[in-house]
């Protein structure tokens, strides 16, 4: 499974990369929204983990751009955020997001999200089907 991590904090990228490596995923990393959009077009990952609080272009804007592009619109995007406010979650799902995890990350929740999308779930919100979404 090809997974793109879009996260500006290097420590958070390393943590998520290490968790995903346990699953044998092929991992790609972007430090910002614009780079994440470009990589999503170039590599067509199976799943994107998107930080929402990014410099220059936030994760909401990057997710909307990915979902607006016919070549990347079906790639599931899961938010990874320090905030668990209902308004932020709603904004992310309105931007086209497919799932929402809060930091600090729970390893089992990350595994469940990957397993869910590994099964081919591409469209729609996954709320209720696994703890992270």
- Write out pLDDT tens, residues 38-85: 999 999 999 999 999 999 999 999 999 999 999 999 999 999 998 777
Measured CA to CA, the distance from residue 88 to residue 27 in angstroms comes to: 26
Q: Is residue 21 part of a domain?
A: yes
Tell me whether residue 111 is in a domain: yes
Give the pLDDT confidence score for residue 38 in this predicted structure.
98
Q: Indicate if the pLDDT at residue 130 is higher than 50.
A: no
Q: Does residue 128 sit within a domain?
A: no
Q: How many domains does the chain have?
A: 1
Residue 33 lies in a domain: yes
Give the integer Cα–Cα distance in Å for 35 and 18: 21
| Residue 113 domain flag | yes
Is 124 domain-assigned? Answer: no
- More confident position, 88 or 6: 6
Here the CATH number for the domain that contains residue 83 is: 3.40.50.2300
In a domain, 125, yes or no: no
Specify if 123 maps to a domain: no
Tell me the range of 32-36, 88-92, 102-106 where mean pLDDT is highest: 32-36
Is the pTM higher than 0.75? The answer reads yes
Give residue 83's domain range: 2-118
């Amino acid at each position: 499974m090809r997974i793109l991590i879009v996260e500006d904090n290097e420590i958070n990228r390393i943590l998520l990369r290490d968790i995903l490596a346990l699953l044998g995923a092929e991992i790609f990393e972007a430090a910002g929204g614009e780079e994440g959009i470009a990589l999503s077009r170039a590599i067509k990952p199976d799943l994107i983990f998107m930080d929402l609080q990014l410099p220059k272009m936030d994760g909401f804007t990057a997710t909307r751009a990915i979902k607006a592009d016919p070549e990347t619109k079906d790639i599931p995007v899961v938010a990874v955020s320090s905030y668990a406010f209902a308004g932020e979650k709603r904004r992310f799902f309105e931007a086209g997001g497919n799932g929402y995890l809060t930091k600090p990350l729970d390893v089992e929740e990350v595994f469940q999200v990957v397993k869910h999308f590994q099964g081919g779930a591409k469209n729609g919100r996954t709320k209720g089907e696994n703890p992270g979404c």
